[in-house]
Amino acid sequence: MITPLMPYPAALLMTKETRVLVVADLHIGWEIALSEKGIHVPTQMPKLLQKLKTLISSYKPKILLIIGDVKHTVATAEISEWHDVPDFFTEFKAYVKEIHLIRGNHDGNLDPLLPEGIKTLPSSGTIIEDVGFFHGHRWPSPALLKCKTLVMGHVHPVVGFRDPAGFRITKQVWVKANCNKEQLTRILLEKNKIKIENNPQETLLKHYGIKPKTFQLFIMPSFNEYLGGKPLNEKNSNEEVKSEKIVGPILRSDAIDLENAEIYLLDGTFLGTLSQLKALA
Ligand SMILES: [Mn+2]
């Protein structure tokens, strides 16, 4: 079972054998990318590190699982990241037994920055007990369909509100959406170029030896709270909603019911469904 660690943008997965602390979207080096554009923000690294240390000392996980976007610059590594990223991993190796890392779209050229012993996993995801984790900029593997719950990052979900004076505030949120497992099975098989015979379930069983069980998807808030994001409840034109930049393929598919997704603040407050919140944007 996976539990959000309120009020932190983190989750804990407890199995019989192990405890896994899950975080997404650290974007180390984010401030430096901004400073190159002339916007100077003091480094947020010490705060991020402290927040993670607090969580580790409270929950004593054996594994730290980062579900993508450790660093900020996409294809290359900035000079500062040559220090900050290795420092980050070296420091946290002392606190947890294992660090596992799913590659995100910002994790290009990451390998030279990783110290020994960090386990890297593909962006198509990994399975721990009955939970499937993936980054979200690409489709998850059909193998993840055997999990009841999927967890992704990448979106940095926030919702926006406008007060009567016109001020705008945005808040980081958790998103819990229902999945249509039949549709998701069909799509993931198609994306893997597997021809569907009879029906998707049978084909999945034939190729992967599993039955689809996925009924819900959690979108994790970014661990780096300074990043911001595009409010999910903003009224968009249809083209914008479908734009690849905003969400990632799985959320654009009909298999995920984003309109009726439940939206929670980091402290656990239930705000309503996404469609209800659209009225307040
Ligand atoms: Mn990402």
8 Å CB contact between 221 and 172:
yes
Whole-number pLDDT of residue 165: 85
Report whether pLDDT(80) > 70. Answer: no
Instruction: Give the distance (Å) from ligand 1 centre to CA of residue 90.
Output: 23
Mean pLDDT, residues 14-43 taken together: 85
Instruction: Give the distance (Å) from ligand 1 centre to CA of residue 228.
Output: 13
Q: Name the burial class of residue 107, with classes exposed (0-12), middle (13-18) and buried (19+) by CB atoms within 10 angstroms of its CB.
A: buried
User: Cα separation of 157 and 232, whole Å?
Assistant: 7
User: Cα separation of 263 and 255, whole Å?
Assistant: 18
Domain borders along the chain are: 2-278
Whole-number pLDDT of residue 40: 78
Report whether pLDDT(244) > 60. Answer: no
Confidence of residue 110 (pLDDT cuts 50, 70, 90): confident
Whole-number pLDDT of residue 74: 67
**Residue 210, CA distances (Å) to 54, 226, 231, 232, 248 in order:** 38, 40, 36, 33, 25
User: What rounded mean pLDDT belongs to the chain?
Assistant: 89
Mean pLDDT, residues 35-44 taken together: 76
- pLDDT tens, 155-177? 999 999 888 888 888 999 999 99
- Lowest average pLDDT, out of 30-44, 107-121, 124-138, 184-198, goes to 30-44
User: Cα separation of 229 and 226, whole Å?
Assistant: 9
Confidence of residue 30 (pLDDT cuts 50, 70, 90): confident
Whole-number pLDDT of residue 242: 52
Report whether pLDDT(241) > 60. Answer: no
Residue 135 token pair: 């980054």
Give DSSP secondary structure letters for 54-78.
HHHHHH--SEEEE-S--BSSSSS--
Confidence of residue 246 (pLDDT cuts 50, 70, 90): low
Instruction: Give the distance (Å) from ligand 1 centre to CA of residue 164.
Output: 34
| Nearest CA among 277, 177, 281, 154 for reference residue 227 | 154
Whole-number pLDDT of residue 133: 98
Whole-number pLDDT of residue 245: 52
Whole-number pLDDT of residue 77: 63
Whole-number pLDDT of residue 68: 92
Report whether pLDDT(229) > 90. Answer: no
Mean pLDDT, residues 16-43 taken together: 85
Report whether pLDDT(268) > 60. Answer: yes
**Cβ < 5 A residues, ion ligand 1:** 69, 104-105, 154
Q: What is the pTM of this model?
A: 0.92
Instruction: Give the distance (Å) from ligand 1 centre to CA of residue 109.
Output: 15
Report whether pLDDT(144) > 70. Answer: yes
Instruction: Give the distance (Å) from ligand 1 centre to CA of residue 15.
Output: 27
Whole-number pLDDT of residue 112: 84
User: Cα separation of 116 and 101, whole Å?
Assistant: 13
Instruction: Give the distance (Å) from ligand 1 centre to CA of residue 7.
Output: 22
Residue 68 token pair: 């993508």
8 Å CB contact between 104 and 154:
yes
Report whether pLDDT(100) > 80. Answer: yes
CA distance from start to end of the chain: 33
Instruction: Give the distance (Å) from ligand 1 centre to CA of residue 105.
Output: 5
Report whether pLDDT(105) > 80. Answer: yes
Report whether pLDDT(79) > 70. Answer: no
Which phi and psi angles does 95 have, rounded to 5°?
A: -100, -25
- Lowest average pLDDT, out of 7-11, 18-22, 33-37, 123-127, goes to 33-37
